[in-house]
Amino acid sequence: MRQTVLEDIGLTPTEAKIYLILLEQGASLAGAISRNTGIHRRSVYDSIERLIQKGLVSYIKSNNRKYFEAVSPERLIEILKKKEADVNSILPDLKALQQMGSDKNETLFFRGKAALKSAFDDQLETGENICMWGATSKATDILQFYFPHFDTERVKRKIKIRLIFNESERSSVSKAKIPLSDIKFVPDTVKSDTAVNIYGKNICIVAWKSDPIAVLIREESIAVGFKSYFEFMWNFAKR
């Protein structure tokens, strides 16, 4: 988990592994880092150079040898604040670009866990209530660290969600306590690992697998059609 978080804030897997071993073992020679991580010595030097540039590693010279040491983890917060400040500085321009294309119909494709977060962030940004059929607890297994954030932001923005699960998910759903939600269930005979999210004029179709994919369609006429299918299933489903 620690390495995953470090990678999420911009470190490569190699950089994250080296930073963690330096935190654990203190000042170390490049050779020792290579042995303890299993990373080739040349790659160790390249990654350490990048970590030094990011302000996460420093070094001292003793007997003409370089000992590398991890900088305090608080530096990670500074990096995040710098990234946030950089984004905020260009946010007005980005919003202007978004507004220019807001009326355009489009289809977007997302692959992988990180990309999928963008698809769900879009549901938050739109601010419309969400209707979802094909909901599955498998989603929280695949994006387990994301959905608490998603629900927190959804509550802040007062976005309600209606969910249709399969009957076999009933016990898992009762434990989950999804906020601002209305939930119904359909028989397992219509079970699928594909979910459909409808919000405003948008439809997001998600295939929940180990390497998830999603297709986001912005087209009001299609959204209206999918919403009709959802309402039909909603009337058929049971609480």
Comparing 2-75 with 105-236, is the CATH topology the same? no
What tokens were used for 118? 């963008």
- How far is Cα 88 from Cα 186, in angstroms, rounded to an integer? 44
> 105-236: which CATH topology?
Endonuclease; Chain A (3.30.870)
Yes or no: say if 202 and 216 are a contact pair by the CB < 8 Å rule: yes
Q: Which helix (H) or strand (E) element contains residue 218?
A: strand 213-218
Q: Which phi and psi angles does 235 have, rounded to 5°?
A: -65, -30
- B/e letters for 12-47, b = 16+ CB within 10 Å, e = fewer, are eebbbbbbbbbeeeeebebeebbeebebeeeebeeb
* CB contact set of 22 (below 8 Å; sequence gap of 6+): 28, 33, 57, 68, 69, 70
Q: Is CATH 1.10.10.10 the classification given to domain 2-75?
A: yes
Q: What is the pLDDT along the chain (239 residues), one digit of tens a residue?
A: 788 888 888 889 999 999 899 988 888 898 899 998 899 989 999 999 999 988 899 988 888 888 999 888 888 888 888 888 888 888 888 877 777 665 566 889 999 988 989 999 999 999 999 999 988 888 888 887 888 889 999 999 999 999 999 998 888 887 778 899 999 999 988 778 899 999 999 999 999 988 899 999 999 999 999 999 999 999 989 98
Structural domain spans, the chain: 2-75, 105-236
- How far is Cα 158 from Cα 24, in angstroms, rounded to an integer? 43
pTM: 0.58
Yes or no: say if 166 and 191 are a contact pair by the CB < 8 Å rule: yes
What tokens were used for 144? 């387990």
